[in-house]
A and B are shown apart, each in its own frame.
Chain A
Amino acid sequence: MYQYDEFDQRIVDERAAQFAGQVERRFSGEITENEFKPLRLQNGLYMQLHAYMLRVAVPYGTLSAKQLRMLAHIARKYDRGYGHFTTRQNCQYNWPRLEDMPEIHRCLASVEMHSIQTSGNCVRNVTADHFAGVAPDELEDPRPWCEVIRQWSTFHPEFIALPRKFKIAVGTTPGVDRAAVAFHDIGVRMIENEQGERGFQILVGGGLGRTPYIAQLIGHFVPKWDLLSYLEAVLRVYNTHGRRDNLHKARIKILVNALGADEFRKRVEAEWALIKDGPLKLDPAEFERIAKHFAPPAYEKLPDAKAELDKLRLGKDRELARFVTNNVSKHKAPGYAAVVVCLKQKDVPPGDMTDEQMDAFAALSERFGFGELRVTHTQNLVLPDVRVSDLPALHAELSKLGLATPNHNKLTDLIACPGLDYCALANARSIPIALEVMQRFEDIDYQNDLGELNLKISGCINACGHHHIGNIGILGIDKGGVEHYQIMLGGSAGYDASLGEFLGKALPQEQVVDALTKLLHCYLGLRHSVEDRLIDVVRRVGLSPFKEAVYGPPTIRQGVAHANH
């Protein structure tokens, strides 16, 4: 993985020292909270309901064992013994003290980590496919491209005060999207043209929140050495024309949709023409220098393990068999597999991990790999380089940690924002709904029968839990001071990106999981086969049968409406 050079280390060390001084001046009264707030936000420090919250960047979701141990140390010494992995592949702490921030930042800097640009109106952490570098279907590893973007966007003087925050995701697998690329301000997709040359499709204006949009294709084929100049042109158009008068209309998605994709593209092309042959043209030698950091590790020469995997999937150890079936993915190197470790344990908030689990997991990443792991945008972890022959031993170790739930891509592999239990913006709690779902639908055989399905829960319209793009989405709202929840159906974060639609009126908390039960029963009755996923059925038959399942037949619904009227 990438190793800091002297410049990277220096800017992170200097920023840690600078923020330490700002914290000191806040305590001494030299600067007011109004003056301090933008400074702390530039360093990822928010004020939430009960405490500060610190967001630590995990660039493109890649962590080393050493870094995870440091995250565990910070959780143990400066927080309440846990961290929370987020839908942007970052790690958050919910209870840091302001007086400890200088030391926390020094700890992070000592392992090449920081919280710079994890908040504020700037380019945020660049995210990527969590199987980067090991997926057999990728054209090439996206992480060197992410690193190039990280270096370009970090402290970019022109883009440090954009109209609003700005998120970029990169995918390099044609026809597959494991990074929700179409729901970012810029989605970068590597493609190959008919001549076999590689370049990028640039999608712009995707996003969730109160105005969800699927990104539109602006750059049809950007030659790969021109990536940065094209991104710079997009950012310049946005920085110049994006709205600053209304917080809710300031994201680039609003600008793209106001201008229309064609006009937006024209403006980008005009700007790009001025800069494409300038200093931002990537030097292949410099790119190779960065890419070398991501060279494949020293894999053993192993035979193909398809037969061994099949044997494990059909084996007598049913727990192991379920785990291998659901949580183990193909790998580029023969005899190896990528293992998804779901942070969706019963009675534990999605994405949470204790310091002890982090320490133990770091050790597992060394024993069953090369000391590297990934964070997924679905709040899970990945061990990317596991020998197939090690899967039984790994499964046994994960079971001891409570991390062997075989539910990847199943109903209880849900994502949920922190919601009103922590978040100052939320209107309703998300985690209690998630916990109830995980309890009610714990039976993995039932989940396997339901097939591939995802559930995403947000506690407010800001959509940190991605409710619009869940096959099933749940949005928490405040209705007269009481938490209620709206159910959506039909969203997809994948290559077949789609936005869900609301099913009907909001339900009180105690009715939400019952409604899900009815909805899932309805799906099982409508599908043609096990391969006929919920998303396929919703796209084929629409919402009506699901509405009826949850709210009753239309005549009864209308009757109730009349009675209420």
Chain B
Amino acid sequence: MPKPPLKWIVTANFTVDGAVGYFTAARSFSRQVADAIVFASKEEAEAARLEAVRAEAVVTDPYLMEVVESDGKLDLLSARERIRSLGPTVPYGHFKPKSGAV
């Protein structure tokens, strides 16, 4: 089966609290990766990243992130991005349950 093609989304951290944000079709940022606008072309994604750079009161250090789409779902390709999306995989604070496996 052929590999699905690489696509791109724009991600950053919110300036106010550092939480992970994803650029959306509404030209704003969401805390849910499912809301991200997915670009089939790297050039379009880069244009969106530059747009995000101009919104730096809202977000910090936007960058492009490679993804693939399968069955309508986004597949984040690295452990780092999966952990960014889901949160730490280990308990913390008052022994809170872990948020999910990588």
CB pair A29–B57 under 8 Å, yes or no, is yes
Q: Which residue of B lies closest to A482 (CB)?
A: B79
A220 interface residue (CB < 8 Å to B): no
* Complex: A81 Cα to B89 Cα, angstroms: 17
* Minimum C-beta distance from A403 to chain B (A): 14
Query: Chain B: interface residue count, which band?
Result: 20 to 34
The proximity string for B residues 12-35 relative to A, scoring 1 for CB distances below 8 Å and 0 otherwise, is 010111111000000000000000
With a CB–CB cut-off of 8 A, which chain B residues contact A431?
Answer: 88, 90
CB pair A432–B15 under 8 Å, yes or no, is no
CB pair A27–B18 under 8 Å, yes or no, is no
Binding site for B on A (CB under 8 A): 26-29, 32-33, 47-52, 80-82, 94-95, 97-99, 347-349, 352, 354, 356, 420-422, 426, 428-429, 431-432, 435, 478, 481-483
The proximity string for B residues 77-101 relative to A, scoring 1 for CB distances below 8 Å and 0 otherwise, is 1111001100111111111000000
Q: Which residue of A lies closest to B90 (CB)?
A: A431
CB pair A428–B18 under 8 Å, yes or no, is no
CB pair A51–B92 under 8 Å, yes or no, is no
Q: Which of B83, B93, B95 contacts A420 (CB 8 A)?
A: B83
CB pair A421–B88 under 8 Å, yes or no, is yes
B interface SS class: loop
CB pair A33–B15 under 8 Å, yes or no, is yes
Most chain B beta-carbon contacts within 10 A, residue among A99, A352, A421, A429:
A421
CB pair A348–B91 under 8 Å, yes or no, is yes
* Minimum C-beta distance from B38 to chain A (A): 20
CB pair A421–B89 under 8 Å, yes or no, is yes
Query: Given A29-B57, A47-B61, A421-B83, is A98 in contact with B92 using a C-beta cutoff of 8 Å?
Result: no
With a CB–CB cut-off of 8 A, which chain B residues contact A95?
Answer: 17
* Complex: A483 Cα to B82 Cα, angstroms: 13
Q: Which of A47, A97, A347 contacts B95 (CB 8 A)?
A: A347
* Complex: A367 Cα to B57 Cα, angstroms: 48
* Complex: A554 Cα to B17 Cα, angstroms: 53
CB pair A82–B93 under 8 Å, yes or no, is yes
* Minimum C-beta distance from B91 to chain A (A): 6
* Minimum C-beta distance from B65 to chain A (A): 13
Q: Which of A52, A426, A429 contacts B89 (CB 8 A)?
A: A429
Q: Which residue of B lies closest to A48 (CB)?
A: B18
Query: Given A33-B56, A420-B83, A421-B83, is A50 in contact with B90 using a C-beta cutoff of 8 Å?
Result: no
CB pair B83–A52 under 8 Å, yes or no, is no
CB pair B90–A432 under 8 Å, yes or no, is yes
Q: Which of B61, B88, B90, B102 contacts A33 (CB 8 A)?
A: B61
Q: Which of A28, A94, A435, A481 contacts B78 (CB 8 A)?
A: A481
With a CB–CB cut-off of 8 A, which chain B residues contact A349?
Answer: 90-92
